Amino acid sequence: MARYSAFLGRRVEVQYRAGDILLPASGTFVADSGRSIFLEQNIDLRGQTKHFRWEIPYQYIVKIEQKPDTETKAASSAQALKAGAGQEETPPDGTATNETLNAKSAVAGASTGASSLLSVASGSKTA
């Protein structure tokens, strides 16, 4: 009997054991054999579509949970970014402080999923 068949066709995140560590896997739940579950994920990298498929045996599954679709997530984060954009403005003379610029870049980086970089204050010297 398929234990996890209720998740078929849905986006899920699975936490599973691999030796002494726990690993995450996320994707579309595509099959349940009665002994293992199968997840698939398609990603566009540098203009090429990559296809990943995981087989995770039941005995290694620690946690499985359904995740919302990425389309609704992207739409809600875009709306939050638009709502937050009007809160801070540049002074009338066109100058902005480093704190204002760093805050805006942190918000932009967080909304796009990009990793944030440490910024060097203008006027500081590096060795």
Lowest mean pLDDT among 16-25, 66-75, 77-86, 109-118: 109-118
What integer pLDDT is reported at residue 68 of this predicted model? 86
- pLDDT band at residue 69 using 50, 70 and 90 as cut-offs: confident
Q: What is the pLDDT of residues 42-60, one digit of tens each?
A: 999 899 999 999 999 999 9
Decide if pLDDT at 117 tops 50: no
Segment 66-82 mean pLDDT = 61
Domain positions in the chain are 5-66
Lowest mean pLDDT among 27-41, 49-63, 101-115: 101-115
Nearest CA among 8, 37, 9 for reference residue 25: 37
Q: What is the pLDDT of residues 81-108, one digit of tens each?
A: 555 555 544 445 554 444 444 444 444 4
